[in-house]
């Protein structure tokens, strides 16, 4: 019974996600779904990206949180448009929530839409929100065993942003080991070691965004 209900929820999520993909493709809009543990640095990555690339792309954000609009306010402070979804305790965003919060955006005049999911390494992975790609974030303070212990995200993500590398001297985290685990699950996974605090390592992430944006526009 529980399994049947879960399957129905996922199926109905897939059908709305398919509608969204068609809409986003029609607009030539690149859509990225950012997924990580709480506190891995999704909002910090957005703050950097929205600031550094604002002369280059028209970007906006859907912010998912259980409670508060703290993150939407942080994002809005960069000048980008941000719409907050509060799940009221719900553990993930789904395609219906995204669809129901698109009205404030002028999609035809956007290049990249970021969806910042609820901080949770498990549940958000199962709900397609109509994105082109899932972006996994992992902080080096979380330990290099996380791709092995939480495999689904690293299996389905297109890239992994390895954040807080400025903390590497102070934690037991082996970048090679984390990368090896993640690529056992997903041989083509792009890996970007960065520090959103210092700004180190962001250029390859920006180059990836440019390439994905160009590919989407031409499609």
- In the complex, the residues that contact a second copy under the rule CB under 8 A are 1-2, 5, 9, 37-39, 65-68, 70, 89, 91, 118-123, 139, 141-143, 145-146, 148-152, 164, 166-167, 170-172, 197
| Nearer to a second copy (CB atom), residue 49 or residue 139 | 139
Q: DSSP character for 123?
A: G
- Tell me which residue of 125, 117, 105 sits closest to 40, measured CA to CA: 117
Spatial distance between the Cα atoms of 179 and 184, rounded to a whole number of angstroms: 9
| Nearer to a second copy (CB atom), residue 141 or residue 191 | 141
Report, in Å, the least distance between residue 151 CB and a second copy.
6
| Nearer to a second copy (CB atom), residue 9 or residue 215 | 9
- Tell me which residue of 120, 173, 117, 185 sits closest to 147, measured CA to CA: 185
Report, in Å, the least distance between residue 5 CB and a second copy.
5
Q: Is residue 96 within 8 Å of 13, Cβ to Cβ?
A: yes
| Nearer to a second copy (CB atom), residue 119 or residue 130 | 119
CA distances to 47, 67, 118 from 124, rounded to whole Å, are 22, 16, 7
Q: Is residue 134 within 8 Å of 111, Cβ to Cβ?
A: no
Report, in Å, the least distance between residue 157 CB and a second copy.
15
Report, in Å, the least distance between residue 92 CB and a second copy.
9
Q: Are strands 133-139 and 112-116 parallel, antiparallel or unpaired?
A: unpaired
| Nearer to a second copy (CB atom), residue 2 or residue 11 | 2
Report, in Å, the least distance between residue 56 CB and a second copy.
28
């Amino acid at each position: 019974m529980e399994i049947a209900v879960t399957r129905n929820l996922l199926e109905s999520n897939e059908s709305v996600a398919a509608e969204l993909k068609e809409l986003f493709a029609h607009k030539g809009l690149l859509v990225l779904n950012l997924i990580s543990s709480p506190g891995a640095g999704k909002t910090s990555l957005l703050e950097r990206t929205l600031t550094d690339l604002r002369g280059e792309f028209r970007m906006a954000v859907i912010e998912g949180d259980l409670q508060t609009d703290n993150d939407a306010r942080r994002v809005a402070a960069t000048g980008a448009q941000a719409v907050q979804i509060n799940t009221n305790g719900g553990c993930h965003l789904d395609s219906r929530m995204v669809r129901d919060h698109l009205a404030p955006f002028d999609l035809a005049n956007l290049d990249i839409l970021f969806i910042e999911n609820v901080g949770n390494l498990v549940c958000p992975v199962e709900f397609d929100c109509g994105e082109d790609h899932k972006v996994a974030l992992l902080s080096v303070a979380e330990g290099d065993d996380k791709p092995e212990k939480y495999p689904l995200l690293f299996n389905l993500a297109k890239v992994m942003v390895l954040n807080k590398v400025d903390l590497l001297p102070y934690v037991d985290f082996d970048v090679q080991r984390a990368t090896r685990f993640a690529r056992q699950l997903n041989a083509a996974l792009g890996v970007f070691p960065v520090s959103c605090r210092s700004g180190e390592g962001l250029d390859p992430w920006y180059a990836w965004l440019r390439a994905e944006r160009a590919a989407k526009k031409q499609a």
